[in-house]
Amino acid sequence: MSAASLLVVDDEPLGARYMALALSEDFPDVRCAATGVEALRAVEARLPDVVLTDLRMPGMDGLELLGHLGRRWPGLAVILVTVEHDVATVVEAMHRGAVNYLIKPVAPPVLVTAVRKALHRSTVAASATGDASELVGVSEAMVKIRALVALAARSDANVLLTGETGTGKELVARAIHRQSKVAGGPFVAHNCAATPPDLFESQFFGHRRGAFTGADRDHAGLLREADGGVLFLDELECLSLAHQAKLLRVLDDGIVRPVGSPDSWAVSVRVLSATNRCPEKMLGEGSLRDDLYYRLRGFELRLPPLREREGDLAVLTDHFLDGTGARLAPDAWAALESFSWPGNVRQLRSVLAEAAGLATAGLVSRHHLGLPSRGQGLAGSLLAQGGETLESLERDAIVHALQRSAGNRLRAARALGIHRSTLRRKMEQHGI
């Protein structure tokens, strides 16, 4: 019998009661909430392991609740349950961090299986919520990173994190926050690729009720939510020059004015930002303002790709499989060693999580990993063909992931360990 705690959010009492009853035999600790606000209070009172929420609810809907939960309790597994089957909504839910999306009516076995998968995923991804010791690795590169994290944490300066996709930039940002003097303050994470151009000011600075069509309630905005703590901006390269100028103004004077409001608020926020592009190249091509760059890079930390972390593949593999009950067969380890890991540590974690779930007997074989099975793996096959550039490695990895997922971009992005928006942008860059 599982000791996991669940929270069911549904404004229909019968719907909430049905899900609670369907889950209670396997998960006896099930609480219910009728609104998004009530759900946030319930999570504050006692953090559950999994939240199952309806989509359409009065006031705060499921997507908005998902956003609040993701910012305040990163890593909390959230399953969206709704009568609607709209592809755009599904994509938006997954983009905001939902681990699954179920269509009502949901059979009890399906509910139970979805919760079990969510719990398993949370266990494997626990490294995103640990302390600095969760910056796993024995390589010289990681020893240096841990020392730099401690140094950056003692400072009040902003930090710019660079490195390829999946190298752990958000994990490092959280480690800096946990060791800093504002560790008791909020850590608000935002992916700049998820900022619609016309909603930048609303997302960052907030808005007043009635400020524009659809603004049916006041919204604090990212900077006020992060007041007294850290705002982590991922995929910085996705901010337009105009938005960079507006962000710089607030960072300079510390004053935020919500859209449609006559009032202003003073905020004290430490900004940790991240990009997988070379800042110097962005400056040279004019896509990054130099004044914003120098404002954000009090410290600049480059995170090494997995291929530069000698000895860390085995350590990370053991770390991610620890607690799953799974172990590697010799052919699986050979496949891991020969693969190039274009998605780096995030991709490794995702591949191992899926493989551990597929290996019902607890022994992970090569076929559970879904990696290339001939020659030197993906990298070796490309090198043998003369395609030795990093660009060709990346393109081939994307094509391979899309083929395996039958063209499903969301699944392909997950397999690569990158965001769907990043996959879309890279597909455009490579002409895929």
Three-state SS string over the chain comes to CCCCEEEEECCCHHHHHHHHHHHHCCCCEEEEECCHHHHHHHHHHCCCCEEEEECCCCCCCHHHHHHHHHHHCCCCEEEEEECCCCHHHHHHHHHCCCCEEEECCCCHHHHHHHHHHHHHHHHHCHHHHCCHHHCCCCCHHHHHHHHHHHHHHCCCCCEEEECCCCCCHHHHHHHHHHHCCCCCCCEEEEEHHHCCHHHHHHHHHCECCCCCCCCCCCECCHHHHCCCCEEEEECHHHCCHHHHHHHHHHHHHCEECCECCCCCEECCCEEEEEECCCHHHHHHHCCCCHHHHHHHCCEEEECCCHHHCCCHHHHHHHHHHCCCCCEECHHHHHHHHHCCCCCHHHHHHHHHHHHHHHCCCCEECHHHHCCCCCCCHHHHHHHHCCCCCHHHHHHHHHHHHHHHCCCCHHHHHHHHCCCHHHHHHHHHHHCC
CA distance 281 to 50: 42
Q: What is the mean pLDDT of the chain?
A: 84
Task: Report how far residue 32's alpha carbon sits from residue 227's, in angstroms, rounded to the nearest whole number.
Answer: 31
Cβ 205 vs Cβ 247: under 8 Å? no
Q: If we measure between CA atoms, which residue out of 106, 15, 112 comes closest to residue 56?
A: 15
pLDDT of residue 134: 64
pLDDT band at 231 (very low <50, low <70, confident <90, very high): very high
The predicted pLDDT at position 186 comes to: 92
Instruction: Write the pLDDT tens digit of every residue in 124-138.
Output: 444 333 444 468 888
Average pLDDT of span 374-388: 43
Please state whether 355 falls in left (phi above 0), alpha (psi between -120 and 50) or beta: alpha
Distance between CA atoms of residues 254 and 421, nearest Å: 30
Q: Give the bridge partners for 301, in sequence order.
A: 161
Q: What is the DSSP pairing of strand 265-266 with strand 255-256? A: antiparallel
Confidence of residue 74 (pLDDT cuts 50, 70, 90): low
pLDDT of amino acid 44: 82
Task: Please give the single-letter amino acid code of residue 182.
Answer: V
Is the pLDDT at 397 greater than 90? The verdict is no
Query: What is the pLDDT at residue 305?
Result: 95
Please state, in angstroms and rounded to a whole number, the distance separating the CA atoms of residues 334 and 423. Answer: 27
Place of tokens 């779930």: 357
pTM, rounded to two decimals:
0.60
Is residue 79 within 8 A of residue 99, CB to CB? The reply is yes
* pLDDT of residue 384 exceeding 90: no
> What pLDDT, on the 0 to 100 scale, is given for residue 91?
67
Tell me the two tokens of residue 263: 């009032």
Mean pLDDT of 209-238: 86
Q: Report d(CA 172, CA 392) in Å as an integer.
A: 28
Range from 97-101, 136-140, 154-158 carrying the lowest mean pLDDT: 97-101
Model confidence at 390, in pLDDT bands (50, 70, 90)?
Answer: low
- Paired with 266 in beta bridges are 255
Structural domains in the chain, sorted by start: 5-124 (3.40.50.2300), 130-302 (3.40.50.300), 308-430 (no CATH)
* Structure-model confidence comparison of residues 76 and 314, the more confident one: 314
Report the share of the chain in percent with pLDDT over 90: 34
Q: Is residue 232 scored above 90 in pLDDT?
A: yes
Q: How far is CA 153 from the centre of its chain?
A: 22
CB 365 within 8 A of CB 332: yes
Mean pLDDT, range 27-56, rounded to an integer: 90
Q: Provide the residue type at 135 as one letter.
A: L
Report whether pLDDT(70) > 90: no
Which residue, among 273, 271, 278, 272, has the nearest Cα to 163 in the 3D structure? 278
